[in-house]
Structure 1
Amino acid sequence: MVFKKLARAFGAGGPSVDTVLDRPDVRPGEVLSGTVHIAGGDHDVEIEHVALGLVTRVEVESGDSEYNSTVEFSRAHAGGRFHLPAGQRYSLPFQMQVPWEAPPTVFYGQHLHGMTMGVRTELSVARAIDKGDLDPVNIHTLPSQEAVLAGMQRLGFHFRRADLEKGHIRGTQQQLPFYQEIEFAPPHQYAGRINEVELTFVTTAHGMNVILEADKRGGMFSHGHDAIGRFDVSHQQAAGMDWAAGINDWLARIGGHGGGHGHAHGGYAPPQQHGYGHPSPYGHGQPHYRHGHAQYRHGRRGHGHGGAIAGGIVGGLAAGFVLGEIADDIGDIFD
């Protein structure tokens, strides 16, 4: 064990903590468990509480500036008040629910660049609180999310980075105060038409909202703008869909001219992820079709445009995308 001195709040000679996770690899909806080991310092102390928080780094916009903030989005208490004699050791097991909306940090064993996730241990002594260092946690994708990401890869999109944005997406069941954006660079068949595509999951126990946002290039007589597609689906349906065909069709409909590659329309099962065999209670919800009259907003990172949903169903999928092209002064899906 590697005990960490909590000297920032308690001073020299205070207690030390070592948090050991049973396994750092989990999926959304699962339970993260472990043990907090506490070693007494050179004098007796009264521990008021021991808590743990699942934290991550979130990008916050404030006026014309941006900064990163550490946000706790799940919390568990390992123990209440107890007496810790000098030099004595105490161990507290804990369990923490991982929210279904927890953003993935790992896809097929590869870390998503830009994502930071961990468990932070909080110890309170005499109303002084010390929050220890992060113990890294890996959030693996659900099979339903893997199917979407595999579809993007199959079309030739290249992962750039992922980040978390503070805010809410209108018309979804989002509970957390932030959402994830997974950014992809387009393959050659979309070059000159699309700068990038961003993918967002808003996940529940029964299904998820899949939101795609294409940053379209401007032409000689037109400005660049964004197009938004949304698909509401159960986990069971998403895992069995041909996402490559559906995304390719959507991009063609919004002006990306995807090219109708034949390989995108065949049956496809993503490869099995090795080294992760922990079952999860995936839900089996019904598809939910969105035929839009709601207004979306989009004003992040200087895009400066709004967007409205136009109703429509994309062929090649067993349910409906909502298509939206962004026009000036219409509003934004992302608050």
Structure 2
Amino acid sequence: MVFKKLMQAMGVGGPSVETVLTNPNCRPGGQLEGRIQVLGGDHPVDIEYVAVGLVTRVEVESGDSEYDTNQEFHRLPVTGAFPLAAGQRYDIPFRCDVPWETPITDLYGRHLTGMTMGLRTELEVARAVDKGDLDPVAVHPLPAQERVLDALVRLGFRFTRADVERGRIHGVHQTLPFYQEIEFYPAPQYARAINQLELTFVATPQHLQIVLEIDKRGGVFTEGRDAFGRFNVDYASADRTDWAAQLDAWLRQSIQQRGLFF
């Protein structure tokens, strides 16, 4: 499936740009490939550069308020300066790495509610920068991430939404300035003790960090509190782990340690 973008750059008569992705589907740690077609307008121009960047929507907390913003988190310069004659066509192939910590946007053929991800092409002519619209990109989970998500579904958790939050998780090494939270409604067997479960993946080439947060229900004499769990596994171990059993054991232990019961 090919996504195309056609934008008019730098006003009437200027060059136009069409970006074609070979395949908009990818995984963290993978690559996106395609080509950029720059077509000269009515007059010759000097192109300063062409670049592509991965962009996602990020939630930012500022004081007592929150707002969403589009944030570029990976950038690839595709060309330097070159002259473009009137009507000239200039084809530029590219291959863009997808960072390991890139948030997931699609699961089992379904787009995750709350997620925005795309590749943006940027072109500069005469110090005027034109940032085009986003070509949609679908980021699918790594096999190890899929095993964890499968386990939650088998336990009875139901996906509700996902978002990306600016900031860092205490005790977790991150290379990107944000992290994704995938939110689930509790499975029936935990519903009396848990309001919500949030899952975060932080992947590297060697291992996968899995961070869980549960929002606990308060009782008559107790406040509702959050509890955190963190698992750090290499990919071979992740594939051999019985995640349904491990997650169930952690959830039950965490709930009981707080004096809550099923």
Which ranges of structure 1 fall in alignment gaps of 5 or more residues? 257-322, 326-335
Identity %: 57
Separation in 2, partners of 1:212, 1:53? 30
* Matched residue, 1:121: 121
* Matched residue, 2:8: 5
Separation in 2, partners of 1:125, 1:165? 34
Separation in 2, partners of 1:11, 1:239? 53
Specify which structure has the bigger relative contact order, considering alpha-carbon pairs within 8 angstroms and separated by 6 or more residues.
2
| Equivalent pair of 1:14/1:42 in contact (CA under 8 Å) | yes
Structure 1: 4+ residue segments shifted above 6 A: none
What amino acid does structure 2 have at the position aligned with 1:54? L
How is 1:29-108 mapped onto 2 (pairs within 5 angstroms)? 29-108=29-108
What amino acid does structure 2 have at the position aligned with 1:148? V
Task: Tell me how far 1:170 sits from its aligned partner.
Answer: 2.1
Separation in 2, partners of 1:153, 1:124? 47
Separation in 1, partners of 2:5, 2:183? 37
Task: Tell me how far 1:107 sits from its aligned partner.
Answer: 1.4
Task: Tell me how far 1:150 sits from its aligned partner.
Answer: 0.4
* Matched residue, 1:109: 109
Separation in 1, partners of 2:14, 2:27? 35
| Equivalent pair of 2:59/2:164 in contact (CA under 8 Å) | yes
* Matched residue, 2:175: 175
* Matched residue, 1:17: 17
Task: Tell me how far 1:113 sits from its aligned partner.
Answer: 1.1
Task: Tell me how far 1:139 sits from its aligned partner.
Answer: 0.8
Which ranges of structure 2 fall in alignment gaps of 5 or more residues? none
Task: Tell me how far 1:246 sits from its aligned partner.
Answer: 1.0
| Equivalent pair of 1:53/1:121 in contact (CA under 8 Å) | yes
Give deviations 1:101-150, integer Å, cap 9, x for gaps: 11111112221111111100000001110000111111110000001000
What amino acid does structure 2 have at the position aligned with 1:21? L
Separation in 2, partners of 1:176, 1:2? 27
Task: Tell me how far 1:2 sits from its aligned partner.
Answer: 5.7
What amino acid does structure 1 have at the position aligned with 2:114? G
What amino acid does structure 1 have at the position aligned with 2:72? E
SS of 2:51's equivalent? Answer: strand
* Matched residue, 1:203: 203
| Equivalent pair of 1:3/1:39 in contact (CA under 8 Å) | no
RMSD of Structure 2 on Structure 1 (CA): 1.3
What amino acid does structure 2 have at the position aligned with 1:210? I
Give the alignment's TM-score, normalised by structure 1.
0.74
SS of 1:141's equivalent? Answer: coil
Give deviations 1:162-218, integer Å, cap 9, x for gaps: 000000112222100000000000121112210000000111001111000000000
